[in-house]
Amino acid sequence: MISKVLIANRAEIAVRIIAACREAGLATVSIHSEVDRDSLHVRLADESVCIGPAAANASYLNITAVIAAAEITGADAIHPGYGFLAENAHFAEIVQECGLTWIGPPPDAIRAMGDKANARRTVTARGVPVLPGSSEPLASREDAVAVAEGIGYPVILKATAGGGGKGMRVARDPRELKQVFDTARHEAEKAFGNGDVYLEKYLTAPRHIEIQVLADSHGKVVAFGERECSIQRRHQKLVEEAPSMAVDAELRQRMCDAATEAAAAVGYTSAGTVEFLYDDGQFYFMEMNTRIQVEHPVTEAVTGVDLVLEQLRIAAGLPLSVRRRPHMSGNAIEFRINAEDPVTFAPSPGEITDLALPGGPGVRVDTHIYRGYRIPPNYDSLVAKLIVHGANRKEAIRRAKRALGMFVIGGVRTSIPLHLRILEEPDFVEGRLSTRFMERFATRE
């Protein structure tokens, strides 16, 4: 059993996990860097330990310091949130070797899905469709060109260790492929310490549709239906919704079956997300994220299931509280509110001088900011998530406009005006989405 959870993260997700722990009656320990002393997750946890200076490498990514914080405070479990150490199999192993409960999937499952080329091979063996591409890392430019000949252009090069949209390069012909091959390898090496790249067919205007799964340690895997995350900038999601306008009951069943197969293939437990691209009636496995995701609340809104609470139950060895896929009720949309310029997208850290959070029917805000809080420049710019829920998509959109219009964040620039513009776009209103949606807001940078 678990009694005290250390949250190896910061900001809104740390606050979200503290909330689930409180409901579960568990004590909480937060960790923080020197610049995060005044963060809400520090105030809300029962205890907090400063684990190092601002630089993530010296604090939130410092495994020794995180483990020491758990030992000093007598925590018996660690929840990694998303980002930082969440998908680090080595860290998960150390947590377990130290006799602590890891609130996440088995380290081997993280490793199997963390290598994207390996993940492709694993799910293919289970009959899950993938885009045509290379199943092994590419040895050379010539190798890349030979593989691309076989599948046809355009192609996309991806880092096998990839994540966060880094290390990806599109090529439209052999000449371009040769040009970008070294850049992609170099970028992958720099970002992930591993320069291996593979390639697959590039779809020019697909939808990004993903399936939430939960699996317990008793062999039960439940798929929770889809989220559509096609509204992205530089491969980073901005707006997510559930259900997707493109998915009917039959397609949902097929995608949920594929996601369940993918999870079962690696002996998955805990919460995870199987990401697909969807184009022209077909869906293709892209990768599995072996953690709770930023956009998990839209699934919570339409299913009524607390996914983080389920993670705690699963880690404690309890069975899933849901036996089969829950019905999705109404429509939910999440807007990522970043402290950045809504036109140029330049980060806008600084002090929050004024704050009024929207509320009322169908509105949820997950955030760590408060009036007087100073957003440090050291981490990502997500400051709040607005999640709206309505009986149907039209109602969800009306609630989104109302809530964004009543959302006051003073002192820094935010993406709220951008979201209000997105809501006015006929393609958004009609649900005509693809990963190219944001190109209409492109700026010269």
* Residues lying near ligand ADP in the complex (CB under 6 A): 131, 156, 162-166, 200-203, 206, 208, 232, 235, 275, 277, 286-287, 435
Query: How near is the Cβ of 221 to ligand ADP at its closest, in Å?
Result: 21
Q: Kindly give, in sequence order, each residue whose CB lies less than 8 Å from that of residue 247, ignoring residues fewer than 6 positions away.
A: 209, 226, 228, 255, 278
- Is residue 340 within 8 Å of residue 384, measured between CB atoms? no
Rounded to whole angstroms, the Cα distance separating 420 from 431 reads 16
Distances in Å between the alpha carbon of 164 and those of 123, 148, 273, 287, 377?
A: 21, 24, 15, 12, 18
Q: Which C-beta is closer to ligand ADP: that of 101 or that of 299? A: 299
Q: Which C-beta is closer to ligand ADP: that of 230 or that of 331? A: 230
Q: Which C-beta is closer to ligand ADP: that of 163 or that of 174? A: 163
Catalytic entry in 16, 291, 313, 413: 291
Rounded to whole angstroms, the Cα distance separating 158 from 50 reads 36
Q: Which C-beta is closer to ligand ADP: that of 35 or that of 209? A: 209
Query: How near is the Cβ of 286 to ligand ADP at its closest, in Å?
Result: 5
Buried b (16+ CB within 10 A) or exposed e, 315-326: bbeeebebeebe
The residue to which tokens 């989104």 are assigned: 400
| Beta bridge mates, 264 | none
Segments in 267-377 forming alpha helices (H) = 296-303, 307-315
Q: Any catalytic annotation for residue 291?
A: yes
Query: How near is the Cβ of 200 to ligand ADP at its closest, in Å?
Result: 5
What letter does residue 374 receive in the DSSP assignment? E
Rounded to whole angstroms, the Cα distance separating 69 from 84 reads 16
Q: Which C-beta is closer to ligand ADP: that of 202 or that of 428? A: 202
Specify the long-range contacts of residues 41-50, CB closer than 8 Å, at least 24 apart.
41/7, 41/9, 41/10, 41/11, 41/14, 41/15, 41/368, 44/15, 44/18, 45/7, 45/14, 45/18, 47/73, 49/73
Q: Which C-beta is closer to ligand ADP: that of 73 or that of 289? A: 289
Query: How near is the Cβ of 319 to ligand ADP at its closest, in Å?
Result: 30
Q: Which C-beta is closer to ligand ADP: that of 190 or that of 218? A: 190
Cα 230 → chain centroid: 13
Rounded to whole angstroms, the Cα distance separating 440 from 279 reads 20
Query: How near is the Cβ of 57 to ligand ADP at its closest, in Å?
Result: 20
Phi, psi of 285 (to 5 degrees): -60, 135
Task: List, by residue number, the catalytic residues.
Answer: 291
